Amino acid sequence: MTKEEITKIISDEFPGKIKESKIVNFEPALEVETEIISEALKFAKESEELCFDFLSCLIGVDRIDHLEIIYLLTSLKHKHKLTLKVSLPKENPNIETASFIWAGASWHEREIAELFGIKFLNHPDPRPLLLPEEWDEGFPLRRDWTGKDFIKLPEK
Task: Report pLDDT digits (tens) over 71-120.
Answer: 999 999 999 999 999 999 999 999 999 999 999 999 999 999 999 999 99
Say yes or no to pLDDT of 45 above 60. yes
Reported pTM: 0.91
Say yes or no to pLDDT of 140 above 80. yes
Cα 40 to Cα 63: distance, rounded to the nearest angstrom:
23
Output the pLDDT for position 153.
52
Residue boundaries of the structural domains of the chain: 3-95
Cα distance from N-terminal residue to C-terminal residue, the chain: 64
Greater confidence (149 vs 147) lies with: 147
Homologous superfamily of domain range 3-95: NADH:ubiquinone oxidoreductase Nqo5 subunit (3.30.460.80)
Cα 113 to Cα 119: distance, rounded to the nearest angstrom:
6
Greater confidence (43 vs 134) lies with: 43
Task: List CB contacts of 146: < 8 A, sequence separation 6 or more.
Answer: none
Cα 30 to Cα 40: distance, rounded to the nearest angstrom:
11
What one-character DSSP code corresponds to residue 35? G
